Structure 1
Amino acid sequence: MGTDLLPELDLQVQTAFRAAMGHVAGPVSVVTTLAAGTPAGTTVSAFVSLSMEPPMLLVSLMRGSHLLSLLSVGTAFGVNVLGAHQADLATQFTGRHDQRFAGVEWHLCDGAPRLSGSHAWVGLRVARLVPAGDHVLVLGDVVSADADGEAPLTYHRRSFGTHLDAGPEH
């Protein structure tokens, strides 16, 4: 295969990969930090538990994102896992970064903004920033965690929803 076909093949793979990933249901969270007394945050669906010993979490942020520009090793940040009733909040945190906290109730927890009514909370400190394609992986050391037991907000096939239990027979 000639190298002149690679850009076309790459585009085909990217399109197919995007479509395939749209079929994967993911949790929705708002990642937050506080910089110079001002809260900042963004909606993400790319985060995962990384380690239990020691407790660590991984968040993937787009290169060039405002939130990423505020993070460095040692920075406090939080992962606010949204509940099924918080789709509007997920959408708000994808808009202009200077308007994301408008009308949002929050308080400082573990050095980062914790959104009121979130389904779960994980307070962290940045352990490492790892470049990965068009994103940067933020590896965080967990300093606290809390959950309320309510239904989570999920994202699947370009829409918000929630998880339904398959029942005891499964």
Structure 2
Amino acid sequence: MNSDVAAFREVMAAVCTPVAVVTTMDVGLPHGTTVSAFASLSLAPPMLLVSLDRSSQLLTIVRRTGRFGVNVLGSAHADLARRFAGKGGPGKFDGVAWEPHTDVPRIPGAGGFVGCRVTSLVPGGDHVIVLGHVVAAEATGGRPLVYHRRVYGTHTAI
């Protein structure tokens, strides 16, 4: 790895990021992956963005279905973050409670849920930025799960 890439990677590891499981459905089966690259984009209309690896199976399904959900994880969900971070397709949902919401899987108990319709896909290096129009949003509160220096944790007010 060249030194600029290594330095960039270390700088970005120092940035505290929220953690979510992005979900979609394919032929009745739930699919999901852990992301820390997602953000609010617009309030009028309500939009958000997520960044998915170009080679991910989830991106292939999202392209085809035009829908995705963002399950914002709470501080008690580090196990879910690790589970959905690996490869594995629909098997990632084995033993995980979920329910359909806006035609995508919603994980009950997550700190929040946003259901989206894809409005555009933007190339971004080895990822694709998926822009989504918000069709549903639910906040359940609680302390957030965050990722910092390659470790899951939470945030507390100072």
TM-score under structure 2 length normalisation: 0.96
Aligned twin of 1:131: 123
- CA-to-partner distance for each residue in 1:7-50, whole Å, 9 max, x for gaps? x8xx1111000000000000000000001111100000000001
Displacement after TM superposition at 1:74 (Å): 6.2
Give the whole-Å Cα distance in 1 for the aligned partners of 2:54 and 2:67: 19
Displacement after TM superposition at 1:73 (Å): 7.0
Given candidates 34, 42, 46, the residue that maps to 1:55 is 46
Contact (CA 8 Å) 2:109, 2:140: kept in 1 or not? no
Give the whole-Å Cα distance in 2 for the aligned partners of 1:68 and 1:62: 7
Judge which range, 83-92 or 95-104, deviates more: 95-104
Given candidates 144, 147, 155, the residue that maps to 2:139 is 147
Report matched runs for 1:37-76 at 5 Å: 37-72=28-63, 75-76=66-67
Instruction: Structure 1 unaligned segments of length 5 or more: list them.
Output: 1-7
Displacement after TM superposition at 1:75 (Å): 1.6
In the alignment, does 2:16 pair up with 1:30?
Answer: no
Give the whole-Å Cα distance in 1 for the aligned partners of 2:65 and 2:120: 9
TM-score under structure 1 length normalisation: 0.89
Contact (CA 8 Å) 2:115, 2:135: kept in 1 or not? yes
Aligned twin of 2:5: 14
- Paired AA for residue 121 in structure 1: F
Contact (CA 8 Å) 1:40, 1:97: kept in 2 or not? no
3-state SS, counterpart of residue 9 of structure 2: helix
3-state SS, counterpart of residue 39 of structure 2: strand
- Paired AA for residue 87 in structure 2: R
3-state SS, counterpart of residue 32 of structure 2: strand
Give the whole-Å Cα distance in 2 for the aligned partners of 1:107 and 1:115: 7
Aligned twin of 1:105: 97
Give the whole-Å Cα distance in 2 for the aligned partners of 1:154 and 1:147: 17
Aligned twin of 2:71: 80
Q: What's the Cα RMSD here?
A: 1.2
Displacement after TM superposition at 1:96 (Å): 2.9
Higher gyration radius (CA): 1
- Paired AA for residue 115 in structure 1: I
Displacement after TM superposition at 1:76 (Å): 1.8
Give the whole-Å Cα distance in 2 for the aligned partners of 1:13 and 1:96: 28
Give the whole-Å Cα distance in 1 for the aligned partners of 2:103 and 2:113: 13
Cα pair distance change 1:73/1:142, threshold 3 Å:
farther
Count how many residue pairs are aligned between Structure 1 and Structure 2.
157
Judge which range, 96-105 or 147-156, deviates more: 96-105
